[in-house]
Amino acid sequence: MKKRIISVFVSLLVVSIFALPMSAVYATKPTYVEWDSVTGMYLATPVVDVVGENTIIITKTVKTWENGDITGIGTTESRMIIHKDGHITTSAVTKITVTGFMGDAVVGTLVVKHGSIGLWRIISGTGDLANLHGEGEITSNSAPKTWTFKGQAHLDP
């Protein structure tokens, strides 16, 4: 009985190996990327909500200018929650109409999820950047309001 189970397992393993593509396709090697996102004008009046007992939620949409390894113009929708104990959490999504990537002219958009500080991740792309993935760290400077994105990016085939 054991021999039969092992023989069926080996047969299935061999069949599955031949079912795999013969030439593997790999993503490009990750590349270091860095760019600044400078906040400009508000595109809508910030909304301030008080929820429960002393919890404040501020939602705003701003225009951004991207300079560095990624260049273009973006729109950031952000949310800041000030908890009743004083703890602050932030989250944002920036949609960038990209005109340049790593010094090359490109056409496409990127959607990047991030906070004011901490981590960022590319969650989608279109056009020349449809298969671009990346993640890294983000820092913030308040005068002028600038986010600096640093990390790794790569293109999938």
Residues 51-94: pLDDT tens digits? 888 899 999 999 999 999 999 999 999 999 999 898 999 999 99
Q: Cα–Cα distance between 136 and 149 in angstroms, integer?
A: 7
Which residue did the predictor score with more confidence, 3 or 94?
A: 94
Q: Residue 137's pLDDT band (boundaries 50, 70, 90)?
A: very high
Asked: is 25-155 a CATH 2.40.350.10 domain? The reply is yes
Per-residue confidence (pLDDT) for residue 23, from 0 to 100: 43
pTM of the model: 0.77
Burial class (CB in 10 A: 0-12, 13-18, 19+), 33: buried
What is the per-residue pLDDT for 25? 52
Distance between CA 63 and CA 38 in Å, rounded?
Answer: 8
Residue 88, token pair as written in the block: 């602050």
Rounded CA-CA distance 61/105 in Å is: 27
In the block, which residue shows the tokens 């989250």? Answer: 91
In one letter, which amino acid is 36?
D
pLDDT at position 26, please? Answer: 56
Structure tokens at 98: 């990209």
Q: What is the pLDDT of residue 24?
A: 47
Dihedral over alpha carbons 5, 9, 11, 15 (to 10 degrees): 160
Distance CA 49, CA 85 (A): 17
Q: What is the CA angle 39-54-144, rounded to 5? A: 15
